[in-house]
Amino acid sequence: MRHAPATAENATAVCRRLALPRSTAAVPLARALIRSLLGGSDAPADRDTAELLTAELVANAVEHTTGDDPIELVVELLPTRCRIEVHDPDPAPPGGLSTPAPDREPDPWQEHGRGLLLIRTLSAACGHRPTAQGKAVWFTLPTVPAATPAVPSVPAPRIPLTGS
């Protein structure tokens, strides 16, 4: 197992791993984990975007792999970003994740075909890497800046007008 170099960011990282069934039940389970991890007010990334992109990765892993091996969801929360990976047993890279295929524009009338486009468009970075058991497909989202408290407006002091 490789360890990342010790940095202040790694020291405050939260990492969760969840084995998911290779079935349609995996998508709501993955979304629930993301909702739970990013539900706090100090969450590092946009929860809705993370849920959507995670659902796309998990759905792709379920649809495009074979066998009974589970898939794995890995969520790493860092102070500056959130990294989400989906591991599956198929070593083949996902087509169109890094760059869109020139002749494969999503058909607006089809139910499928826009997941990787969403991941490329809405994430800060995305890609895939080989693993000992197949591959990991990942994306990152940047930290959402904390909301600054609104400064109450103070009315300007009234200066009485004096007439001469």
Token pair listed for 161? 């007008």
The values of phi and psi at residue 82, to 5°, are: -125, 130
Kind and range of the H or E run holding 87: strand 81-88
pTM reported for the whole predicted model = 0.75
Distances (CA, A) of 76 to 22, 51, 118: 22, 14, 20
In tens digits, what is the pLDDT along the chain, a chain of 164 residues? 333 444 455 566 889 999 999 999 999 999 999 999 888 756 668 899 999 999 999 999 999 888 888 999 999 998 889 999 999 999 998 876 666 555 556 555 556 557 888 898 999 999 999 999 999 999 999 987 655 555 566 666 677 777 65
Q: Give the CA angle between residues 117, 73, 5 to the nearest 5°.
A: 100
Owner of token pair 């058991």: 133
- Res 28: pLDDT: 96
* CA–centroid distance for 164 within its chain: 69
Note the helical H segments in the chain: 8-11, 26-37, 47-64, 115-122
Burial group, residue 34, by CB count within 10 angstroms (0-12, 13-18, 19+): buried
Beta-carbon contacts of residue 20 (< 8 Å; ≥ 6 apart): 26, 29, 30, 58, 70, 71, 72, 73
Distances (CA, A) of 101 to 95, 116, 122, 130, 151: 8, 11, 18, 21, 49
Using left for φ > 0, alpha for ψ between -120 and 50, and beta otherwise, residue 151 falls in: beta
